[in-house]
Chains A and B, each alone.
Chain A
């Protein structure tokens, strides 16, 4: 594999595409499949075959187009028309099997399908900045040729043939990319640390154990563009000197696993995985490991334990995986989205990514917009955009005329940000200052009907269920805090209970072994900070010591 053969493949693929006058791109991502996209694809193909029109129109399965709540999404694409012609593409939403005839009729005649049309000049599309999702919805995730036609693997070939490993790391460091799994650790520094660690073997691990409630960014990236993640991992392996990698995917993502498996086989076939990549001595191999349903295995040391076949529990750091990781060897662990940024950085240069975003948070971030919001779905926005722009413009606000109350970011480790902070820029530091975290990208919007004590209770229940039970503060603390929050929700709590809740928040946050316990109190602390009145109003009348007054009085 070299640049010439890659360009040859891309040119061939593009030529083949332009020969077909009309392409129907049906979303084949998890959300749209669950709404019947698969059936739709079959029906369309059958009708095209019956009408003997397979040469005029081709049905393709593509990745996520973003508007998950309006699925199944279909795009009518006319590759012959110039790409900047607004008539070359039309996006349709909620297309069902019943609409197949009408859809084909419009597609073949070139008339606009007004009934199911979804305008793409709305803020939902125009305000986005797509880097990680640049191919999402445009390529067939199960065809490596589609990915190559869009510039795929060019960054890797460039890295392997033109760059030394340390130059690759410099490029990543210059981009200012920070870990997209939530921690925000500078990726360049992490790569450099692993590269400098002594070890006869090193490993690369991709953390795809996404588990925050309401978050589906990594799943969509893997569903829609699996090669992108592979390319990022191979580049990382070259940069840090690793020859073996694991992708730890949660078992609840069967489609992502299937597509990753296919992607790995295809990558081996064309020679970007295996030995002597790009005629260099560099060899790289990727294996898939499946998570068995434990949230804590998203924590890097627990994830490593799980890959090693041990019970998935974290261990104290230091030593960090960069020096003592998988099988005791230096290990680079990055999140799916972090790796998915790498091909773009290698193609466009680190400075291009550094030009996007804020002073300390560079590039873009993918968010899963969920909850009570009009445009539920997947978005990618530049860092530094305000929450208001995301919620009110891209998300088009809260439905049914209700008032916005708070947005929850960062999942069970994050917090709730109220309306008065909506003008805050979205970057790592600002979100922490507001009592939440960037997290992996879950964004759950809540309207005025949400009870914030109940929201805190929900997340505490999640943490209690997902605590591994290794360290005492997390194991017992989450359990006791959940009991207290349930008492508050039932309006049976006394001021003493609220005091104890606050005290336990501090103990659990400061003394827990891993991130799960250390951040488990965050949903309580952030709702206490902004909505303390809701806690206060849930309290029972009490005596001067804060204990609930006895129900039975002595006579």
Chain B
């Protein structure tokens, strides 16, 4: 979602986790928190891509509000009192990560991203030691039709980082979504094999923003796939500078 840029005319003061911080209008809670060394858990959010607000791991409590707000999408306001960590939030985040493990077939030991996986790291960080939600064990496919890359739906968490990077940074819009609810899948073009795609530029950006082993380079064995996404902040900053 494109946001209008707000001219930084004034500074706002707010409290995040008992820390008094200042912020510019238009900044999100996530931005301000990370500026002050508070790392709010997140999976779908990636600096440089549009806000998606879907993984719900970054939900925070705002004083005086009953419902929870996703830190990535909520803009700061003067006098806001935010709490990014509490037993309740920790519990919710843990269950959400468990839901991801139960949804598809994540078997870390044989995964090419083992050790370099954001989902795995998040589970460790949140202290997920077992999954108490029954596994859904869906029958999914693997698309290996591309020369260099592979799409493995078993390991996809539908964060749509690949969809966004393809449309917003590469400008190819090859990646898309099909199906709804539990049937939601990442697709290439109009649900064609990746290798047949006429729009894919084989740039590999989708592979490197993917947090798990769903999008990987071919030829990697278990635990060998390391994602390199330095290009994203670089491209974002360079393009912003060129536009301003």
Interface SS of B by simple majority: loop
- The answer to whether A479 and B136 have CB atoms under 8 Å apart is yes
Chain B, residues 45-80, CB within 8 Å of chain A (1/0): the string is 000000111111001000000011110011100000
Q: Which of A464, A466, A475 has the most CB of B within 10 A?
A: A475
- The answer to whether B180 and A511 have CB atoms under 8 Å apart is no
- The residue in chain A whose Cβ has the minimal distance to the Cβ of B66 is A510
Given known A-B contacts A316-B70, A318-B75, A507-B96, A472 and B56 have beta carbons under 8 A apart? yes
- The answer to whether A468 and B181 have CB atoms under 8 Å apart is yes
- The answer to whether B103 and A475 have CB atoms under 8 Å apart is yes
- The answer to whether B103 and A476 have CB atoms under 8 Å apart is yes
What's the minimum C-beta distance from B226 to chain A, rounded to whole angstroms?
A: 25
How many A-B residue pairs lie within 8 Å, measured between CB atoms? 106
Number of contact residues on A: which range applies?
35 or more
Is B128 an interface residue, CB under 8 A from the partner?
Answer: no
| Contact partners of A478 in chain B: CB under 8 A | 181-182
**In the bound complex, CA of A318 to CA of B26 (Å):** 12
Is A465 an interface residue, CB under 8 A from the partner?
Answer: yes
Residue in contact with B136 in the complex, picked from A480, A507, A512, CB distance below 8 Å: A480
Is A477 an interface residue, CB under 8 A from the partner?
Answer: yes
- The answer to whether B133 and A513 have CB atoms under 8 Å apart is no
- The answer to whether A472 and B99 have CB atoms under 8 Å apart is yes
What's the minimum C-beta distance from A299 to chain B, rounded to whole angstroms?
A: 13
- The answer to whether A315 and B1 have CB atoms under 8 Å apart is yes
Q: Which of A294, A328, A472 has the most CB of B within 10 A?
A: A472
Is A471 an interface residue, CB under 8 A from the partner?
Answer: yes
| Contact partners of A39 in chain B: CB under 8 A | none
Is B95 an interface residue, CB under 8 A from the partner?
Answer: yes
Residue in contact with B56 in the complex, picked from A294, A483, A512, CB distance below 8 Å: A512
Residue in contact with B184 in the complex, picked from A294, A464, A469, A500, CB distance below 8 Å: A469
- The answer to whether A311 and B177 have CB atoms under 8 Å apart is yes
- The answer to whether A469 and B68 have CB atoms under 8 Å apart is no
Residue in contact with A467 in the complex, picked from B73, B75, B180, CB distance below 8 Å: B180
Is A415 an interface residue, CB under 8 A from the partner?
Answer: no
**In the bound complex, CA of A480 to CA of B221 (Å):** 32
Is B108 an interface residue, CB under 8 A from the partner?
Answer: no
Task: Tell me the chain A residues, 195-237 only, with Cβ under 8 Å from chain B.
Answer: none
Given known A-B contacts A469-B158, A503-B95, A510 and B184 have beta carbons under 8 A apart? no
What's the minimum C-beta distance from A118 to chain B, rounded to whole angstroms?
A: 44
- The answer to whether B182 and A479 have CB atoms under 8 Å apart is yes
Task: Tell me the chain A residues, 316-338 only, with Cβ under 8 Å from chain B.
Answer: 316, 318-319, 328
Is B179 an interface residue, CB under 8 A from the partner?
Answer: yes
Task: Tell me the chain A residues, 492-520 only, with Cβ under 8 Å from chain B.
Answer: 500, 503-504, 507, 510-513, 518
Task: Tell me the chain B residues, 1-49 only, with Cβ under 8 Å from chain A.
Answer: 1-2, 4
| Contact partners of A469 in chain B: CB under 8 A | 158, 177, 179-184
| Contact partners of B73 in chain A: CB under 8 A | 315-316
Residue in contact with A475 in the complex, picked from B53, B70, B184, CB distance below 8 Å: B184
**In the bound complex, CA of A480 to CA of B179 (Å):** 18
Is B130 an interface residue, CB under 8 A from the partner?
Answer: no
What's the minimum C-beta distance from A463 to chain B, rounded to whole angstroms?
A: 9
- The answer to whether A315 and B182 have CB atoms under 8 Å apart is no
Is B134 an interface residue, CB under 8 A from the partner?
Answer: yes
**In the bound complex, CA of A311 to CA of B185 (Å):** 13
What's the minimum C-beta distance from B164 to chain A, rounded to whole angstroms?
A: 12
What's the minimum C-beta distance from B9 to chain A, rounded to whole angstroms?
A: 15
- The answer to whether B55 and A471 have CB atoms under 8 Å apart is yes
What's the minimum C-beta distance from A334 to chain B, rounded to whole angstroms?
A: 22
What's the minimum C-beta distance from B137 to chain A, rounded to whole angstroms?
A: 11
Residue in contact with A500 in the complex, picked from B54, B56, B59, B132, CB distance below 8 Å: B132
- The answer to whether B182 and A475 have CB atoms under 8 Å apart is yes
What's the minimum C-beta distance from B32 to chain A, rounded to whole angstroms?
A: 16
Task: Tell me the chain A residues, 244-266 only, with Cβ under 8 Å from chain B.
Answer: none
| Contact partners of A479 in chain B: CB under 8 A | 103, 136, 181-182
| Contact partners of A188 in chain B: CB under 8 A | none
Task: Tell me the chain A residues, 469-493 only, with Cβ under 8 Å from chain B.
Answer: 469-473, 475-480, 483-484
What's the minimum C-beta distance from B25 to chain A, rounded to whole angstroms?
A: 13
**In the bound complex, CA of A451 to CA of B1 (Å):** 44
- The residue in chain A whose Cβ has the minimal distance to the Cβ of B75 is A318
What's the minimum C-beta distance from A95 to chain B, rounded to whole angstroms?
A: 43
A-B contact pairs, 9 of them (CB 8 A): A466-B181, A469-B183, A472-B100, A475-B184, A480-B133, A511-B68, A511-B96, A513-B53, A513-B56
Residues of B within 8 A of A (CB): 1-2, 4, 51-56, 59, 67-70, 73-75, 91-92, 95-96, 99-100, 102-103, 132-134, 136, 157-158, 177, 179-184
Per CB-CB distance, the 6 closest pairs between chain A and chain B, nearest first, are A469-B184, A316-B53, A476-B99, A467-B181, A316-B73, A479-B182
